[in-house]
């Protein structure tokens, strides 16, 4: 009798240890609890970000700080968003409390070329096969359809050289259409004439409304708005305000879950400390970090696009549980853990009709 009880006890322990009863969600591929996911929207039917289907009923959705008039329908595939909410331990489902979208810039195209590169407000914008490009009516268009003088909205990842790798481009109209706005880090601040630079663009803020906590300074991330297009490489600002970093997970508490998609922006401490940065966010590799598929630490180089899943420590560092290199065909399909119905990841239990690429 005692032997039978011991056998049953050992068997139950083995089932819990190896099955989905793991409270940390490791066996199911996820980390349950509250947290944030920053990445590209890859599908709708709820909202898919970083391979997780987030239910959006009751979620607050904002576009550049303003409440979305049509809720989820104002979002489009390709936009980089920050989703805060709860994550199921299965690693593929969650419930959004808030979804925030902030573009990198909106302004006129000053040049375009056959290498899929645009110049917009002094910033270099690069498109590739994964970039979702829309016309003013939200229909998909090709890069070749973007013309010099078009006003475009851009969302994407900024590399260590300041180049924007666009995941989303939308033509808002011809020259003069829409608001002119630019987010970026101040450099070459000169208080006497009242100018600074974002990338190669000179910003004249001498007559602008300034909304920052202390004062303007080099290294401060700001949003600049203007009522007119740049003239001679200079933008006359109507408003300059301090902004949260577009891809930041700052403010997440110790132990919170975080998923971050982006480009590697620093590898200075990779060899010495197993630490690197994605979108400026410090990431720590440990002995418990899992590299998905054929990904290895050797592939973590400047400009590499990847996804990191883990938890935030007391110093705001993302402790990596899993790292995967990103690649795809422009709709998230073929990306590691991004596609809801590609049949190759942990989302293939989800109905195909929930990922039709439409927000409506």
- CATH number for domain 180-245, candidates 2.30.30.280, 2.70.70.10, 2.40.50.140, 3.20.20.70: 2.40.50.140
- Taking alpha carbons only, the member of 136, 132, 65 closest to residue 103 is 65
* CATH placement of domain 103-178: 2.40.50.320
User: Model confidence over 249-285: pLDDT tens digits?
Assistant: 877 788 899 999 999 999 999 999 999 999 999 999 9
- Taking alpha carbons only, the member of 96, 171, 100, 160 closest to residue 132 is 171
The pLDDT of 319-323, averaged and rounded, is 96
Residue 332 has pLDDT above 60, yes or no: no
The string of DSSP letters for 68-99 reads -TTGGGG--TT-EEEEEEEE-TTSSEEEEEEE
* pLDDT number for residue 252: 78
User: Model confidence over 285-310: pLDDT tens digits?
Assistant: 999 999 998 788 999 999 999 999 99
* pLDDT number for residue 174: 76
- 216 near 184, Cβ under 8 Å? no
Residue 224 has pLDDT above 70, yes or no: yes
Compute φ and ψ for 140, nearest 5 degrees: -65, 140
**Would you kindly state where each structural domain of the chain is located, as residue ranges?**
103-178, 180-245
Element (H, E) at 202: strand 201-204
CA 316, distance to chain mean position in Å, is 17
* pLDDT number for residue 67: 94
């Amino acid at each position: 009798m005692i032997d039978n009880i011991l056998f049953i006890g050992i068997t139950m322990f083995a089932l819990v240890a190896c099955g989905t009863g793991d409270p940390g969600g490791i066996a199911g591929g996820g980390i349950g609890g509250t947290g944030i996911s920053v990445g590209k929207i890859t599908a709708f039917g709820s909202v898919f970000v970083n391979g997780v289907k987030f239910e959006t009923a009751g979620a607050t959705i904002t576009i550049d700080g303003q409440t979305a008039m049509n809720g989820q329908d104002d979002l489009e595939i390709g936009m980089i968003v920050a989703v805060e909410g709860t994550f199921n331990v299965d690693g593929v489902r969650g419930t959004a409390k808030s979804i925030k979208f902030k573009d990198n810039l909106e302004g006129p195209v000053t040049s375009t070329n056959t290498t899929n590169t645009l110049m917009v407000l002094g910033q270099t914008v690069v498109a590739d096969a994964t970039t979702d490009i829309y016309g003013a009516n939200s229909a998909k268009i090709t890069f070749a359809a973007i013309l010099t003088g078009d006003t475009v909205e851009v969302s994407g990842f900024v590399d260590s050289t300041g180049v924007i790798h666009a995941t989303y481009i939308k033509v808002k109209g011809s020259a003069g259409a829409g608001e002119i706005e630019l987010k970026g880090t101040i450099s070459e601040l000169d208080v006497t004439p009242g100018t600074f630079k974002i990338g190669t663009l000179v910003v004249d803020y001498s007559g602008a409304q300034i909304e920052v906590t202390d004062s303007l300074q080099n290294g401060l991330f700001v949003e600049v708005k203007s009522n007119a297009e740049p003239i001679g490489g200079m933008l006359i600002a109507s408003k300059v305000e301090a902004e949260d970093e577009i891809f930041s997970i700052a403010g997440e508490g110790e132990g919170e879950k975080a998923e971050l998609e982006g480009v590697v922006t620093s590898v200075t401490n990779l060899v010495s400390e197993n630490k690197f940065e994605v979108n400026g966010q410090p990431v720590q590799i440990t002995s418990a970090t899992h590299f998905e598929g054929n990904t290895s630490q050797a592939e973590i180089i400047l400009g590499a696009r990847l996804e990191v899943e883990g938890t935030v420590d007391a110093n705001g560092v993302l402790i990596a549980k899993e790292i995967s290199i990103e690649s795809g065909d422009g709709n998230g399909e073929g990306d590691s853990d991004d596609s809801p119905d590609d049949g190759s990841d942990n989302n293939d239990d989800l109905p195909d009709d929930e990922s039709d690429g439409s927000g409506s």
